[in-house]
Amino acid sequence: MSKFHLNAREREMLYRLGQAAIPPGRIFPPFSRDVVDRIEGFLADNSRTVRRTFLALLYIIEEGARLRYLRPLSKLSHEKARKYLEFWADATATMRLPFRLVTVIVKAFYYDNPGIFEQLQMEYRKPPVKDEPARWQRQVLCGRDVHEDLNLEAEVVVVGTGAGGAVVAAELAEKGNAVVMIEEGEYHPRSDFSGRPFEMQKLLYRNSGFIATAGNTTIILPVGRCVGGTTTINSGTCFATPNRELRRWRENFGLTDFTPAHMKPYFDRVFNVYQVTTADMKYVGKNGEVVARGAGKLGYSHGPLPRNAPDCDGQGVCAFGCPTDAKRSTNVSYVPRACEASAYLVTGTEVDKVIVQNGEVRGVQGRCLKTGKSVTVKAPIVVLACGSLYTPLLLMKNRLGGRSGQLGRNLSIHPASPHSAIMDERIDGWKSIPQGYMVDEFKSEGLVLEGAQVPLDLTASFYLGIGQKLQDFMEQYDHFATFGFMIKDTSRGTVRPSGTNMPFIAYYLNKHDRRRIIQGHEILARIYLAAGAQITYAPIHGWIPMRNEADLKRNLSRTVNAWDIDLSAYHPLGTARMGGDPDGYVTSPYGELYDQPNLFIADGSVVPPAIGVNPMITISALATRTADYIDERLKTLSHV
């Protein structure tokens, strides 16, 4: 199969669009053709779906110019091209979306430039580190090394190695059970973690991070695809399930055992393995200090976040794989523990079949993605831990879990949004913990503010503007302070097959959640202004940059629709939720499918939506509890 290439016209279209959208800055260079080369390489490395979508949108923008100027964008003068793109940037939501999807890529690859990083005295790439091979890695078989069909046997097969799957595997293996883990992604040592966003997204994220919801707005919803799952690419924030949520579970979902006293031993075990400690202010950096200063002046409760990174030294790239292994994600905690206890791990293998014979679970079957060889693991207990987006799809494909009619429903995602400010002092947020500080004053209202420093090239992608305003904004990146927030959403979505390798995620942001998001931006604007910010920016279409209270009030007086807000989300939950009633829930309180004994789920899909805090600890604690239950089940099976 020949390698993908842009044709001459497509290259010219991209070049002219880039020139018009990103003019030369005061210190930043003009848009050049080598940016087009790098975009071409990015498209070549991505799926056909991504390529076709990008090019279709590019042609729409190119040919749309004929309606105004009787010629395509690539044939316009620079001034007309600039005005044409400004029209797209300020058009209706249906027009802004394709424009944003194209310019996100164009901006990101322009600013992904070592010369630009050097201008701002920033580190472009993490220096290579030496790997330290461990004995447990002998228990790992990479799918690309499987050249004939593979048949294995175990007592338990676990599909997925994230916050749930790796925990179940380690707990059961350490109890003396025979465990095989299967992971669709690959194992990556820390020497692979360069810190470059697009490189790491391709390596560690499913579909390079390009998964999004469909509805009354588009919300980016990235998840991991690697050993460690999303724990490898999260920010390491660790909260136990709030007591108020446990009470809600008991009262609303029939989960009568879930008292704080019952769950405490499970939380303690998980906190111990993850080595959770409060972020060191030395490495929280000025980004956190600015928010602390503003929150303090306003009388808000605030402080450093609890994290699973006891040896963190502020590398600033948590979302792209920790290059020092300071973050105790499951790829450096639970997976090694499982393998040290003789569990076996097969990577690069996609499971598509749950084997059920005569009404009993018998194992799983899949294929190695590189060689196409089949992998079959026979086991009397199967644990699915593919995450809230993909576990429902696997169950649907196998016609399992459908008894209650709730499979793939009840999706919550904790929608999140960033807010930036330009300060008088140099912030240098790139060399501190990206998410190390919080403002928890409003947690009872379903609003948690957490630090979210974003790399330079991705910051440009999030910024809604183009042209000289964009360059003026980005040339002050070393003075950026960036924070974010997430809401405990009351909106709900669904997950269904799409006919591609991605789920179709329908999610409609309701008015209550939209108001809560606007409130989050209002609070952060006031925090930054109280801290002495020159100007603050919220990624809301139609909002002006804010220099004072009057600007903020002017923005708050505007009508904001769901499609006007730039949103992302990182905590999908609830699509196979557990509960006390087989007719209303997919699984039992231990994650076992009501309609298929000995088939368990151990990921965010069993968590009743939404919990209002980062869910890694919740998922891992529930997985620990499930592992104890499975161990008792195995003892029963051994006597049958």
pLDDT on residue 378: 98
CA distance 329 to 343: 18
The dihedral of CA 100, 101, 103, 104: what is its sign? positive
CA distance 196 to 209: 14
Side chain identity at 429, as an amino acid letter? G
pLDDT on residue 640: 53
List the beta bridge partners of residue 382. Answer: 157, 599
What values do phi and psi take at 519, rounded to 5?
Answer: -60, -40
Tens digits of residue pLDDT in 131-145: 888 999 999 999 999
- The segments of the chain whose pLDDT lies below 50 read 1
Q: What's the count of helices (H) and strands (E) in the chain, helices before strands?
A: 19, 22
CA distance 393 to 389: 7
pLDDT on residue 1: 41
Tokens at 242, concatenated: 């709030």
Burial class of residue 178 (count of CB atoms within 10 Å of its CB; 0-12, 13-18, 19+): middle
Side chain identity at 266, as an amino acid letter? Y
pTM over 0.75: yes
Tens digits of residue pLDDT in 379-407: 999 999 999 999 999 999 999 999 999 99
CA distance 330 to 342: 16
Side chain identity at 493, as an amino acid letter? G
**322 with 224: CB under 8 angstroms?**
no
**252 with 608: CB under 8 angstroms?**
yes
